[in-house]
Amino acid sequence: MDEQDTERTAPRQATGTTDGHEAAPVAPAAPPATVTGLVAVGTEDAPACSDGVCW
């Protein structure tokens, strides 16, 4: 099964105007932190460990 392409870019955004001048556009928003493309099976609250915490 092909892996999904996780690359995304967001459109550039202007911050609005100040002193009658258009502000420089901000950098594109970072892509989502996680794009899994996986179908989740099971309950979300099954016990697991994260950040060194397992209890």
Partner 1 sequence: MQVEIWSDIVCPWCYIGKRRFEKALAEFAHADEVEVTWRSFQLDPGFAKGEGVPVYDALSKKMGAPREQVRAMTEQVKQVAAEEGLEYDFASGVMVNTFDAHRLVHLAQSKGLGDAAHEAFMDAQLVRAEDLSDPEALVKVAVEIGLAEAEAREVLAGDAFTAEVNADIDTARQLGATGVPFFVMDRAFGVSGAQPVEVFTSALEKAHQAARA
Residue ranges in contact with partner 1 by CB under 8 A: 1, 3, 6, 34-55
How far is residue 51's CA from residue 12's CA, in Å, rounded to a whole number? 34
- The residue among 24 and 49 lying less far from partner 1, judged by its C-beta, is 49
Q: How far is the CB of 46 from partner 1 (least distance, A)?
A: 3
Judge contact between 29 and 10, C-beta under 8 A. Answer: yes
Assigned token pair, 28: 């594109």
Q: How far is the CB of 28 from partner 1 (least distance, A)?
A: 19
Q: How far is the CB of 5 from partner 1 (least distance, A)?
A: 12
Nearest by Cα to 35 from 6, 13, 10: 6
